[in-house]
Amino acid sequence: MKLNKLLLAGIVAGAPAIAAAADVGIGINVGVAVPEEVVVQAPPAPVVERMPPAPGPGYAWIEGHWRWEARRGQYVWIRGHWDIHPGYMWVAGRWDQRPNGWAWVEGRWAVPAAVVEGPPAPPPAPVVVGSPEPGPAVVVYSTPPALIVEQQGPAPGPQFSWIAGHWSWNGRWVWMRGEWRHHPHWHEGGGWVAGRWEARNGGNVWMEGHWR
């Protein structure tokens, strides 16, 4: 009988602490992996936005993108904006096709593997918000440096292709590391067609790679 009374007293005494923990949302989540959200419906074509002037040096333009709103059952456009993270460059997010739908790969700030200074890029031509057509190609009046030889390492699986590293222009030459990437619609003979810099209009224009 005394033991039961002691247990009851302990529970009553601990109730406020339990309630306080519930109010502040304290929880324990050990070793639980968050499942990747796959959307069956393909995202619409990106909205071409008018890029306002940068607030200052060192800012990166965070491109707008489509976000899937599950409760509304539709895509919602998230506008682009300027942001800054000194010493880092912005790697844009993207929608990747999976065997059962589309998954959003979040953008991230990354430390450039290599940087080579170059002449300033010409300002991009203004475009109108809502146009489904991509903006004009930016001509870089500087020759990209020699390619950096990278170690690929073994492929994570049979449906992965090596996306070779390349020089990207962001007001200066920045090396984008290579990576293994899963083929979004795997088929026999499928693979990655590498992007390239193409001479045009007295300068160089980047031709994006694609899956075949």
Question: Both 123 and 184 in a single domain?
Answer: yes
Q: 118 pLDDT band (50/70/90 cuts)? A: low
Q: How many domains does the chain have?
A: 2
Residue 144: predicted pLDDT: 87
Question: Both 126 and 138 in a single domain?
Answer: yes
Say if 83 falls within a structural domain.
Answer: yes
Q: 150 pLDDT band (50/70/90 cuts)? A: confident
CA distance 73 to 39: 10
Q: 185 pLDDT band (50/70/90 cuts)? A: confident
Q: What is the mean pLDDT of the chain?
A: 75
- Across the range 73-79, mean pLDDT stands at 92
Say if 120 falls within a structural domain.
Answer: yes
Residue 3: predicted pLDDT: 44
CA distance 187 to 155: 17
Q: Which domain holds residue 49?
A: 36-111
Question: Both 66 and 142 in a single domain?
Answer: no
* Phi, psi torsion values for 16, nearest 5 degrees: -60, -40
Domain final residue pick, 91, 111, 131: 111
Question: Both 91 and 152 in a single domain?
Answer: no
Task: Measure the N-to-C terminal CA separation of the chain; round to a whole number of Å.
Answer: 76
Domain final residue pick, 57, 76, 111: 111
Cβ atoms 149, 177 nearer than 8 A: no
Say if 174 falls within a structural domain.
Answer: yes
Q: 64 pLDDT band (50/70/90 cuts)? A: very high
Residue 139: predicted pLDDT: 84
Whole-structure pTM value: 0.41
Residue 44: predicted pLDDT: 92
Say if 7 falls within a structural domain.
Answer: no
Residue 131: predicted pLDDT: 38
**Which range in 32-46, 103-117, 121-135, 190-204 is most confidently predicted, on average pLDDT?**
190-204
Residues 6+ apart with CB under 8 A from 153: 180
Cβ atoms 193, 209 nearer than 8 A: yes
Residues 6+ apart with CB under 8 A from 164: 150, 178, 194
Question: Both 132 and 76 in a single domain?
Answer: no
Cβ atoms 165, 148 nearer than 8 A: yes
